[in-house]
Amino acid sequence: AQSVAQPEDQVNVAEGNPLTVKCTYSVSGNPYLFWYVQYPNRGLQFLLKYITGDNLVKGSYGFEAEFNKSQTSFHLKKPSALVSDSALYFCAVSPVGAGSYQLTFGKGTKLSVIP
């Protein structure tokens, strides 16, 4: 069975500074990897995904993530944080293979961007 770890419950960063939200995963074989963002009392919004190819994936709102197979990590990054980036971020994994449409989510990391 697959799993996702988001080791930080909360990340605080000053506005304008770079941000990183960490994610490591465990899966049999190759992974599909995803990042989602959730604002209070709202559904999850898709940010980006890694399927195959370039290890650096660019997504919505200036976010990017780097797939590192040897470290089984998929950290979310942004060069310059905005106050509006404050939200709950989820990493998710799905194994590559037939019928692999179920996602396993991490517990989430609360990002607070301080003005």
Partner 1 sequence: SQTIHQWPATLVQPVGSPLSLECTVEGTSNPNLYWYRQAAGRGLQLLFYSVGIGQISSEVPQNLSASRPQDRQFILSSKKLLLSDSGFYLCAWSPGLAGKEQFFGPGTRLTVL
Residues in contact with partner 1 by the rule CB under 8 A: 32, 34, 36, 40-46, 49, 51, 88, 90, 94, 96-103, 105-108
Q: What pairs with residue 109 in β-bridges?
A: 89
In the bound state with partner 1, the residue whose beta carbon lies nearer, of 19 and 92, is 92
In the bound state with partner 1, the residue whose beta carbon lies nearer, of 17 and 45, is 45
To the nearest whole angstrom, how small is the minimum distance from the Cβ of residue 66 to partner 1? Answer: 18
| The pair of three-digit structure tokens given for residue 23, joined into one six-digit string | 């994610």
| The pair of three-digit structure tokens given for residue 41, joined into one six-digit string | 């009392």
To the nearest whole angstrom, how small is the minimum distance from the Cβ of residue 51 to partner 1? Answer: 5
Strands 109-114 and 10-14 turn out to be parallel
In the bound state with partner 1, the residue whose beta carbon lies nearer, of 17 and 61, is 61
Other C-beta atoms closer than 10 Å to the C-beta of 95 total 17
Distance CA 52, CA 83 (A): 32
To the nearest whole angstrom, how small is the minimum distance from the Cβ of residue 67 to partner 1? Answer: 14
